């Protein structure tokens, strides 16, 4: 086992609220505040793999004010070798959803210079969903 201070790793959060995200549009999530960026490979909205390997990505999103008329909320981890889609059905709620925090993780194969970012997409409803600063996104080279 080896621990290296040059092993690529990052942990980021938004610096401000992304408010009233428009519907039926994919939005890049803006991760502008770095808790750490070991290797300097993260630049909002994307991580760029410095070397080929398997990378672990983790996220916790804090979303607010989701419209009761929203159809699906689609959270995507968009990487060069494919997109990992997490689709949540919001149809049937009797009132707006004030707070929701979806979480996820994925191991992704990346080549050197491949990028990875997160997007969010709301189908239908009113453009009132907010991406809150309590959200987090992290990643690191596993092997």
**pLDDT (mean) for 71-75:** 95
Whether the per-residue pLDDT at 1 is higher than 70: the answer is no
Residue 3: pLDDT band (50, 70, 90) is: low
The pTM of this model reads 0.93
Whether the per-residue pLDDT at 139 is higher than 90: the answer is yes
Scanning 1-143, the segments in alpha helix (DSSP H) are none
**pLDDT (mean) for 34-59:** 97
CA distance linking residue 100 with residue 90, whole number of Å = 11
CA distance linking residue 128 with residue 103, whole number of Å = 21
Whether the per-residue pLDDT at 105 is higher than 90: the answer is yes
Q: State the burial class of residue 29 (Cβ atoms within 10 Å of its Cβ: 0-12, 13-18, 19+).
A: buried
What is the per-residue pLDDT for 91?
A: 76
Whether the per-residue pLDDT at 99 is higher than 70: the answer is yes
Whether the per-residue pLDDT at 87 is higher than 70: the answer is yes
């Amino acid at each position: 086992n080896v621990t290296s201070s040059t092993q690529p790793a990052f942990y980021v959060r938004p610096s401000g609220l992304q408010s009233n995200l428009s519907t039926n549009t994919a939005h890049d999530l803006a991760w502008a505040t770095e808790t750490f960026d070991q290797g300097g490979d993260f630049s909002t909205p994307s991580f760029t793999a410095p070397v080929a390997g398997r990378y672990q990505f983790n996220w916790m999103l804090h979303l607010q004010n989701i419209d009761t008329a929203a159809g699906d909320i689609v959270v995507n981890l968009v990487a060069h070798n494919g997109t990992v889609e997490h689709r949540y059905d919001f149809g049937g709620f009797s009132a707006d959803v004030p707070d929701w925090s979806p979480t996820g993780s994925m191991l992704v194969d990346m080549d050197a210079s491949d990028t990875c970012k997160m997007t969010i997409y709301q189908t239908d409803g009113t453009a009132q969903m907010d991406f809150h600063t309590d959200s987090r996104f992290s990643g690191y080279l596993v092997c």
